[in-house]
Structure 1
Amino acid sequence: MTDHWTETVDLNGNPFFVQHWGRKDAPKILMLHGFPEYSGAFADLAPLLGERFHCIAPDQRGYGQSWRPADVEQYKTALLVSDMAALIGDEPVILLGHDWGASVAYALAIGRPELVSKLIILNGVHPAPFQRELAKGGPQTDASQYIHFLRRDGSEDILAANDFAKLMSLFSAHMDMDWLQGDTLAAYKAAWRDASGLRGMVNWYRASPLKLGHSGEAIDDALVFDPARLQVRCPHLLVWGMADTALMPASTEGLEDYAPDLTRVTIEDADHWLMHQKPREVADAILNWL
C-alpha cells in the first residue's frame, strides 16, 4: 500500500487543500488537475507512481477544499501559476498536468523554468497550437463550443441544477464515464458542492484570453504567440488518449516547435479521462520515460 495523507497549506496567504501519495523522501511529482475535477482526479494514478515518487496533488484555486474567490480577475494565469510556484518552493519538481492543469503546467515550465525539472502532460494543450486550432473554425472549434456556454453569466447555476445534471452531461460528452460512479461520483459531487462552489471552476474559462468563434467560424483576431517566448526547455512527455472528443489531436501538431525535447506516447483505447480509464498504462508510460 502506498502511503496517503492530506493537509491544508497556506499559499500566498490563502488556504489550499493538498493530497499526498508515496514517500516523503522520494523525488516529487506535482500533479495538477483540470475541469471539473479536483485533487482526487489522481487517486488511481498516484498510488502507482507513489512506489518511486512523492506525488503531490492540490485542489487548485477555485476547486474542492481550496480557496475559492468569486471574482473572475482572480483566475488569471499569472495568479494560478503563483499559487503553484509557492507550493513548489525552491527545489524543482517533476510537473504533471491534465486538461486545465496542463495550462498551468505549461505556463510554469515556460515562465518559471527553474522550478520544473521535467514536464508531463496528459491530454492537455500548449496555448499556441491550441489557439491556432481554435481560430481555424474546424474540428477543434466545433469541439470547444461548450466554452461559450461556460463563459456566460450564470452558467454555474445551470450546471448545478438537478444534482449537477448539466455538468455530468458536459463531463461525459461522447466519452467513457464508467469510472465515475459510486464513491468516486459522491466524492466529485462533494467537491463541486453547489452553484457557488462551481463558480470558481467556471471562472477559469471566463478569465482565459483564448479566443474562438462559433461552430465553423474562423477568426482572424486570435492571439498570436511567438514560439521563441513559449519554449519548454526541459524534457517533456505527452501522453495522449486517442479517443478524446474535447481536445483534438491536431491541437498538439507542431508542439515540437515549442518543446524540442518532446516524447509522445499514445493510448489507443482511452479518451480525455485516460488516468481514470487506464491508470496502469499511463503510469507505465510515465515510469518508463522517467
Structure 2
Amino acid sequence: MKQHDLILNGQSFHIREWGDASKPTLLMLHGFPEYGGAWADLAERLEDSYHCVAPDQRGYGQSYAPPEPEAYRVSAMMPDIVALIDHLGGPVVVVGHDWGAAMAYGLAMARPDLVSKLVILNGVHPGPFQTALAAGGTQTAASQYMTFLRRDDAEARLSADGYAKLLGLFAENMDMSWMTPERRDVYVGEWSRPGRLRGMVNWYRATPLVIPKPGETVAVPPMDPEKLRVRMPHLLVWGLGDTALLPEATEGLETYCDDLTRVEIEGADHWLVHQRPDEVAQILRNWLENGA
C-alpha cells in the first residue's frame, strides 16, 4: 500500500493505493466514521487484479476539512471525486459504503461518463431511502441517530470519555469482533485530528434527508426516477444483519436502475467489509469479471 497527498480542486486530499496502476481501477469511497485505510481488508484481497484507490473523503483523516456544514453537501463535495477520477484517467469502477455510497450514487447519476460500473456495499440510493424514512416505520426508528448527529453539541458528546459515544454508535447491535485494540487506536487517532470530527458530523448536518420521529410520517416531493437513474451496471452487496440500514431502505431500487444485481450475505451486517472480506472480494471479482 502506498500513501500520498494530492491537490484536488485546490485542496489537499490523502490517498491510499494498492496494486498496479496499469490494472483496472476500483475507486473506494468510505463512510462514517471510517477513513480511507478502512478499505485495506478488501483492497489487499483485490490488488493482484485491480488498482484500488481509497481517499480520505472531505472532512476525514488527513484530507481537507472545512468547518462549514454547507461544504458537505454531496453536490459541493462531488468535484473532489471528479477531480480524482480525472487524475486517474477515468472512467473507473466506483465502490461505495455507507456515506461513500451516497457519493457513489451521486457520481453515477450526475456524471455517468466517469463511472463504468457501480458497486454499493450496505449503502442506500436517495430515492428508496427517503421513501423509507418518510414512512415513519422501522427504518425511521433506526435512523434517529442521524438526528442526534445533527445537534450542535454532537462533537463534544461523541468525543467525551475517549470517544465512548462514537465507539458505541459504531458498535450498536453489530458484530465488532474485527475491531482489535490496535485498530481501535488507529480509528481514535484519525478522529482526533484537528477539525476532523466536525467534518465527519457535518455530512449529517448538510444532508437534505427528512427524518421524522418514529411513528410519524412526512410528505416528501415525488422523486423523478429519470433524474436519479443509475444507467451503468450496478452491484448491491448487502449484509442482512445491518441494524442501521434495513432492507426496506432498498425497496424499489430497481425502479432507478437499468442493470441491478443484488447479492445478500447472511451473518454479516453494516461492517461486512471487515467481517467477511474474503467473501466480499470474491463477490466483486465474480461480478466484475463475469457479470454475476
- Aligned counterpart for 1:17 among listed residues 14, 21, 25: 14
Instruction: Say if 2:65 and 2:195, in contact at 8 Å, map to a contact too.
Output: no
Instruction: Say if 2:61 and 2:193, in contact at 8 Å, map to a contact too.
Output: no
Q: Please say if 1:277 is aligned against 2:271.
A: no
What is the match of residue 260 of structure 1? 258
- Could you say what the CA RMSD is over the residues aligned between the two structures, in angstroms? 1.0
By how many angstroms is 1:269 displaced? 0.8
Change (3 A) 1:186 1:223: farther
What is the match of residue 154 of structure 2? 155
What is the match of residue 179 of structure 1? 178
Quick one: distance in 2 between partners of 1:44 and 1:77? 26
SS at match of 2:3: strand
What is the match of residue 117 of structure 1? 116
Instruction: Say if 2:234 and 2:261, in contact at 8 Å, map to a contact too.
Output: yes
What is the match of residue 137 of structure 1? 136
Q: C-alpha deviations, 1:16-75, integer Å up to 9, x for none?
A: 000001111111000000000000111100011111000000000000000110011111
Quick one: distance in 2 between partners of 1:159 and 1:145? 15
Question: For residue 253 of structure 2, what is the amino acid of its counterpart?
Answer: L
Question: For residue 74 of structure 2, what is the amino acid of its counterpart?
Answer: T
By how many angstroms is 1:223 displaced? 4.4
Quick one: distance in 1 between partners of 2:122 and 2:77? 19
By how many angstroms is 1:268 displaced? 0.4
Q: C-alpha deviations, 1:165-223, integer Å up to 9, x for none?
A: 00011111100011112221111111101683200000000000000111221112x34
Quick one: distance in 2 between partners of 1:253 and 1:23? 38
What is the match of residue 34 of structure 2? 37
Quick one: distance in 2 between partners of 1:21 and 1:91? 17
SS at match of 1:229: coil
1:113-262, aligned counterparts within 5 Å? Answer: 113-193=112-192, 196-220=195-219, 222-262=220-260
SS at match of 1:227: coil
TM-score (norm 2): 0.96
SS at match of 1:260: coil
1:67-78, aligned counterparts within 5 Å? Answer: 67-78=64-75
Quick one: distance in 1 between partners of 2:90 and 2:165? 41
What is the match of residue 97 of structure 1? 96
Quick one: distance in 2 between partners of 1:88 and 1:194? 26
By how many angstroms is 1:118 displaced? 0.1
**Structure 1: 5+ residue runs without aligned partners?**
none
Quick one: distance in 2 between partners of 1:199 and 1:140? 25
Question: For residue 12 of structure 1, what is the amino acid of its counterpart?
Answer: N
